[in-house]
Amino acid sequence: MIRVMIVEDDPMVAEFNKRYLEQIGGFELATVCFTVEQAMDELENQSVDLLLLDIFMPGKHGLDLLSYIRESEKKVDVIVISAASDIERIQKALRLGAVDYLIKPFEFERFSTALAAYQEKTAFIQNQHVLNQEELDQQILRKEEKRLP
């Protein structure tokens, strides 16, 4: 079971994310945090595998939390779910290791696709000790062979 923390300052959006999550098997909601500070405290007190992270939040922003996670070497993955659609924030989130980025508003299908891909990758990694290049490309990096003309 993949334990999930939702970090979202809007209670209605957090509830939507929670309900979407409940519709997908293999995931368990660990907690909902309404501030970055609350999420930092929760990350110290419980184990989670995946954060669903908003960027625009009161006080510290979601990217501050993502930076904190990487600096403190927490073993948690992050899917950003945000209205932030500017390339600078998207690139920063990806550089900090976000495994996916959903721009609000989004459809359940996109949410489901993101979680299914994460679930598949996680299951694959848990059963491997060593990968060859083909496995890495297909299962982890999702690359298809492309040739230059």
- 135 pLDDT band, cuts 50/70/90, is confident
At residue 4, the pLDDT reads: 98
Instruction: Provide the 3-class DSSP secondary structure of residue 2.
Output: strand
Tokens of 133: 């290049």
77: which strand partners? 50
Tokens of 3: 């334990």
- 133 pLDDT band, cuts 50/70/90, is confident
pLDDT digits (tens, 9 = 90+) for 32-85: 999 999 999 999 999 999 999 999 998 999 999 999 999 999 999 999 999 999
* Among 99, 116, 117, CA closest to 52: 99
Is the pTM higher than 0.85?
A: yes
pLDDT digits (tens, 9 = 90+) for 91-126: 999 999 999 999 999 999 999 999 999 998 888 888
Distance CA 48, CA 50 (A): 6
CA distances from 22 to 35, 39, 116 (A): 22, 20, 13
The proportion of the chain whose per-residue pLDDT surpasses 90, expressed as a percent, equals 79
Tokens of 10: 């809007």
